[in-house]
Structure 1
Amino acid sequence: MSDDRCDLLCIDFDHAEALRAALPTAEEVALRAERMRALGDQTRLRIAHALHVGEVLCVCDLAWIVGSSQGLVSHHLRQLRSAGLVDSRRDGKLVMYRLNPTGHHLLDAVAGTLAQEEPA
């Protein structure tokens, strides 16, 4: 017998059903998981932090800041944009990126969780 399972099947149906009904839809969960996965890469997390502090940056600046090539940063920015965390706009020959409100909220949540786990 495993320690992570009940020895007896007993469901508090009303409570369990109310919680089940309150869960987000499968589509909402999939979108949230995609967004969290987007910040699960060290380079993308560094880019998101740079955008969080720097507000609006081009690929050249981001590459310098995070210490990666422009091609690699562009690749990661596409993934962040695809996940709905980053917005971009063309400014002449430059493409400017910014963390959108969803990206800021998710990064704040991740950073807050990490700060709580760090030893004092």
Structure 2
Amino acid sequence: MVFPNWNGGSSRVIPPSHRLTPGRWEKHHIFPQAEDLARWFEGQGVKIHSYTMPIPRDVHRRIHGPLGNGGAWNKAWREFRDRNRNASAEEIFKHAGELIHRFELIGGPIQPYYSRPGA
């Protein structure tokens, strides 16, 4: 999966490594599944289950918090949505990249939720 090219960078796709380091990994939805956010993403043309990335389990727990409310990750998305109710899909993808950087997410390739690891 490749995010849209916004800044005139190379359109060449560099194949990701299909091997993750040892440890416990969880699939992280780039676009949260919380009902309010999922409805908004769908209305903006973003398919939330098409964009996940495996990240270390401890990182996943850190960004979502222990209370089951989505933590800082979902909060950041709600703040963006509230400031940008009519955001285009392109603006949403750009913000996703910014959040991935801000939350220092390192993991495997972005892929659909229902894909097999390494596929």
Category of TM-score, reference length = shorter chain: under 0.3
Normalised TM-score (structure 2): 0.24
Determine which structure has the larger helix proportion and give its number: 1
Normalised TM-score (structure 1): 0.23
Structure with larger Rg: 1
Determine which structure has the larger strand proportion and give its number: 1
